[in-house]
Structure 1
Amino acid sequence: TNRQWPVRGESPFAIQRIDWTGEVPFEIREINIRPSGFRISFTRPVDPGTAAKSATYLLSTYTHIYAAGYGSPEVDQTTPRVVKAEVSADGLEVNLTIEGIQEGHIHDFDLSALRDREGHRLLHTKAYYTVNEIPSGNRQ
């Protein structure tokens, strides 16, 4: 339906059928916090040429003012630096070493420069991760 939050439904009071084509799109499977940064997993192997470049990953952080009223501006904005991007042998994971991870902040990832091995862009290029705690361990 097309009510409330932005959606792609065309009718205000309808259920629309989605037919799966059988093809898995190039998507972010999951993002996990690591002591030194983040591990991003994908549904298809990434292009090692673009995935190994730190500049491929745009990252910003912010938090909100928690109050009784609805909504808040984005505050305490920072721009962490991607120091290193390491691609796994199968191309399904990238380990990012990050300087400037902020506990209690939303980390906003823009992966629009990333491609899979066939040159396709991600279907959804934005991802968000709220860092509640940076795990202890080796931070290299």
Structure 2
Amino acid sequence: MAAFSLSSNLNADGLTNLEFILQALNVTGRLPCNRPAIGVPAHFSIENMENLYVERHGGGWVANIQFQDVPKGQPDCIGTPDAAPFDDQQQALMAGMALVCQLATGSPELPFLKVGQNLIVPVYRA
């Protein structure tokens, strides 16, 4: 798995933010797993995740996860708090990736290391 550059929306392999974090969870053995019981609507599942994006909000940045196949009248996204935006885009993205991890595995632990402007996924093979 290649490194993901925080200075662009796509890495060298053309992965989006969401594709990168889900692939990192997969190659590090954290996916697939049983759906965690964390008190969110059933449609907030990895199968329904459509996009992870970062946007400017007020004087800072927030991250949101957009979902598809949402039941009528239900929310179609979840994100970092609008009331407490991050100072920069990278902080918001890292928080958004931690939120994907939380929804997918029950733990916000990130499956990569941040080295400068790159995210490196350590994978050991026997």
Both proteins in one fold, TM over 0.5: no
Write 1 or 2 for the structure with the bigger share of strand: 1
> Which structure ranks higher in relative contact order (CA pairs < 8 Å, sequence separation ≥ 6)?
2
Which structure has the bigger radius of gyration?
Answer: 1
TM-score (norm 1): 0.26
TM-score (norm 2): 0.28
